[in-house]
Each structure stands twice: as C-alpha cells, then as structure tokens.
Structure 1
Amino acid sequence: MPRFIIEDDFWSLFPHAKIGTVICQGIDNSIKDVDLYAKLLQEAEKEAHQFLRQEEFSSNPVISVWREAFQKFKTKKGARCSIEALLKRVKNGNPIGTINPLVDIYNSISLRYGLPCGGEDIDTFAGDIRLTKATGNEPFIPLGSDENASPHEGEIVYKDDAGAICRCWNWREALRTMLTENTKNAFLCIELIDETRTDEFHMALKELADAVSHHLGGTVKIEVLDRDHREMTIFG
C-alpha cells in the first residue's frame, strides 16, 4: 500500500508545519452540474476578500508568510504559493473558472480559508509519495505542457518513484497525476505554516472532507502529519 512520507530535510526547514490530508476513495468526479460549482467558487471569491485588507498585496499575512517560506529553499524564479496565485486573481477581478468537481471544491476551500490546497489522483502514483528536497533529476511535466521541467536541486517537492508531482512545494502540479473527471481515488492536502491559524486549518480540512463526501460520494479519511507524525498509509 502506498504511503505518504514527509522526510527530515523538510522538517529541518519547517519544523512547525502541518500537512493535512483528505484521502478520498470511490468518488464520482464526473461533471454533472457546472452551475453548482461555478456558484461555489463565486461565493468563495467573495469571502476571500477578507484576506486582502492590506493595500500592498504582498503585505497581506496569508501571502507574506508563504513568501518568507519560499525564501528558505531553491525555487523557480517567480514561483509563488498556490493561495497567492488564487488571491491575485480575486484581487484583479479575474474569476476562477470551473475545472472539475474535486478541483473546484478544493479551490473554494482554499479561497475561503486562505490556505493552499492541492490534489492528485492516487491511481497514478508510482510507489510512496514523499514531501522532501529534490535531487534535481526528477522528471516533471507540468500541467499545460509536454516538455520536461525538472525541479532544482534542493527545491521542496512532492514526488514518487516516477518523478516530481508538485514543484516548489505547492506551486505547479504535474500532468501525470492531475485530477480528472475519471478520478476515483484522490489525495487532497491542505498545508499550514502559520501556527496561529491551527483552528482554521482543522476547520478547512473538515469542510473539504464533508464537501467531497456530500457532492461526490465515496469515503473520506482525514489525517494530519507533523514533525511527531511523519508518515501515513494512504489506503488502509
């Protein structure tokens, strides 16, 4: 059974981080009601303005904390945390379109709580998943591309035995493990580095799990990894 393992080189940089997972099994991610998910995202975009109260975009706490985090490891120039990318679109009045139910659900949770959320198709994984520093040799074809763009050596990545599956921690996802309408089993995660927001983090995880269960069926399991609990079995 595949495991999710957070390695020591990650904890050496981010000892107080928490990675919350929602493991979804037997879901139906086919698109049945586009309007439902479009409305979900529209409502979330309205709520996201609470995180944009500082006039200078990068001074907003949910953005600045991740800017600081990204300075602790090697990144691709211009790479930003996923929540910053979403909030920039909200600030610029650029609506976030629907993609598929799972992605729409986790994007709405990300916006409502000001926390980065992501997801992968478990059935595409090759062996265990690790959150760690890259060697720089991992194959990686990003979404929207057909060319390899391996991570830098020392970059924080999610990876499996076949290569990187998310670069710069939570910046860019791989085409190979992307969530699609055919996804039946999904690995979703929410990442926390601001210890003052632990309550919101746990609320976001529960709301994410509840939303997936309500809209897509199947079974969901929440598990949180931290420096005292560094690995989990994805199924089982």
Structure 2
Amino acid sequence: MHMFSVSPAFWKMFPEVKIAIITVHNINNQDRTQVPDSVLQHANEIAPTLIPDEPISNNGIVQVWRDAFRKFKTDKGARSAIENLLKRAKNGNPVRSINPLVDIYNSVSLEYGFPVGCLDLDKVNGQLELTVANGTEHFSAIGENDAEIALLGEVIYRDDTDVTSRQWAWRDSSRTEVTETTKNVVMYMECLKPEWQVQYRNAIACLESRLKHYLNTTCTITFVSIAKSSTQFN
C-alpha cells in the first residue's frame, strides 16, 4: 500500500487544483497491436482545435498553465507537459507511438487538454508526494546521463527515494519510466480550474474506457483536493 499526499506549500500556491490518482494493474504493455495507430492519429488531429489562436499563448489552456508556472521556480523555457504535446500536434510534429499504455494516455491528453503523468508503480518507493522542492532533491531525467538537483521552490512529484517529475510534470524520471515491461502503474491528472470540471471528468472517463477497451484493464480512481490532501493506493 502506498500513500499519495500534497504538501501545504503546494496548496498555498494552488488551492483550486484537483488531482485524480489512477492505478492500473496487470497490464500487457508489450503487444503493440492492441492499440490501433488510428487512436493516436485521431488525437493528433483533434489537438490543434484546442489551441486555435495565434500566438499559442492566447489560448486559454496555455495561458492558465503558463500563469501557474510563473508562481514557482523553473528552468528557463520550461513549459507544461500539455502545452508541449498540443504544440507538437499543431506544428505538424505529431506525437508518435511509444508503447500501448503511453499511447492511450497521450491520446487522451491531446483530445481533452489535460496532462497525464504516469509512473511504473513497481518502481515507486514508499509515499508519493506533490510538493515544493527544498533544493536538495536528486533527479535523473529520461534520456540523460547526469543527475540533477531540483531547484529551490520548484513544484515536484517525489517518492521516498528522489524526484519522479520535475517542475510539476515537465520532465520525468528514468527510474520510474513506463516501459514495455511495465505491468502496474500509478497515473495522475490535474485540473487547475473549477470551470474545467466537466471536461476533466470526461477526460478521466475516456482514459478509463480506453484502458478497458484496448488493454482489458480496470482502473481505481481517487481524488485529492485541498479538502482531502491525501489518499492511499496500491
């Protein structure tokens, strides 16, 4: 059994945020034929409709996330994961297939405009926490050889070992990366504004449906907010 919690320092900056914690077990993430290419292709086609205005910063989704990133310490040029995904699709550089599970949650993000973080649950050590870094936490990014130290004041996800996602979910850890051998995962999807709740619930329902339809798995979903700052998951 694991615990997910959110620190008071995070709530001080973002009291309206709601977070869905989604666990999925017994995944077959090796058979690439399970998820048709058309799923991701269709999502890449829908994504530009969520950010029709130029420049990209004029679109509501992008504005809200950029405003959020201005409230904490970031590396120069850091953008939210959802802005990066939508921008790629709009600029003719579609999000490509990685593995069945990643393709499913990327397709949901592209269609609904909510980022989905995902960790290999078997590699998560102890408690998972959304918090503000004290500047001593270690991190090893996917595809990078050198370890990093989180910036003092940046928003991070971390477990009892080290950082699992830097600058909210801008960059993910190689230690907890989802690969073809992953069998169990914990995912998180954040909603920044109460006005987005209907679309947010629809995105979660779509994710749940696609995991069931394509991977024959079921989800366990719990929600965390300032009124309920922690939940257990396994």
Q: Give the TM-score normalised by the residue count of structure 1.
A: 0.96
Count residues in correspondence. 234
Where does residue 216 of structure 2 map in the other structure? Answer: 217
Alignment-mate amino acid for residue 220 of structure 1: C
Where does residue 21 of structure 1 map in the other structure? Answer: 21
- How many percent identity over aligned positions? 38
Structure-1 separation of matches of 2:16 and 2:130: 15
Where does residue 46 of structure 1 map in the other structure? Answer: 45
Gaps of 5+ in 2: none
Q: Aligned-pair distance for 1:192? A: 0.9
Q: Aligned-pair distance for 1:34? A: 7.3
Where does residue 163 of structure 2 map in the other structure? Answer: 164
Q: Aligned-pair distance for 1:214? A: 2.0
Structure-2 separation of matches of 1:21 and 1:43: 26
Structure-2 separation of matches of 1:197 and 1:79: 23
Where does residue 32 of structure 2 map in the other structure? Answer: 32
Structure-1 separation of matches of 2:229 and 2:107: 27
Gaps of 5+ in 1: none
Alignment-mate amino acid for residue 15 of structure 2: P
Where does residue 195 of structure 2 map in the other structure? Answer: 196
Where does residue 137 of structure 1 map in the other structure? Answer: 136
Where does residue 12 of structure 1 map in the other structure? Answer: 12
Structure-2 separation of matches of 1:39 and 1:234: 32
Q: Aligned-pair distance for 1:81? A: 0.3
Structure-2 separation of matches of 1:35 and 1:229: 35
1:81-120 to 2 correspondences below 5 Å: 81-120=80-119
Alignment-mate amino acid for residue 23 of structure 2: I
Where does residue 55 of structure 2 map in the other structure? Answer: 56
Q: Aligned-pair distance for 1:114? A: 0.9
Q: Give the TM-score normalised by the residue count of structure 2.
A: 0.96
Structure-1 separation of matches of 2:217 and 2:231: 20
Q: Deviations over 1:114-164 (max 9, x none)?
A: 111110001001110000001221111101112112210111000011100
Where does residue 173 of structure 1 map in the other structure? Answer: 172
Match of 2:187, SS state, is: strand
Q: Deviations over 1:90-137 (max 9, x none)?
A: 121002110011111111000100111110001001110000001221
Q: Aligned-pair distance for 1:182? A: 1.1
C-alpha contact (below 8 Å) 1:121/1:185 kept by paired residues: yes
C-alpha contact (below 8 Å) 1:27/1:219 kept by paired residues: no
Q: Deviations over 1:40-77 (max 9, x none)?
A: 11101111122122121111111110000000011111
C-alpha contact (below 8 Å) 2:25/2:184 kept by paired residues: yes
C-alpha contact (below 8 Å) 2:140/2:146 kept by paired residues: yes
Structure-2 separation of matches of 1:232 and 1:26: 21
- Give runs of ≥4 in structure 1 deviating > 3 Å: none
Structure-2 separation of matches of 1:113 and 1:9: 28
Structure-2 separation of matches of 1:163 and 1:203: 32
Query: Do structure 1's residue 184 and structure 2's residue 178 form an aligned pair?
Result: no
Which stretch has the larger CA shift, 125-134 or 26-35?
Answer: 26-35
Which stretch has the larger CA shift, 17-26 or 156-165?
Answer: 17-26
Q: Aligned-pair distance for 1:183? A: 1.0
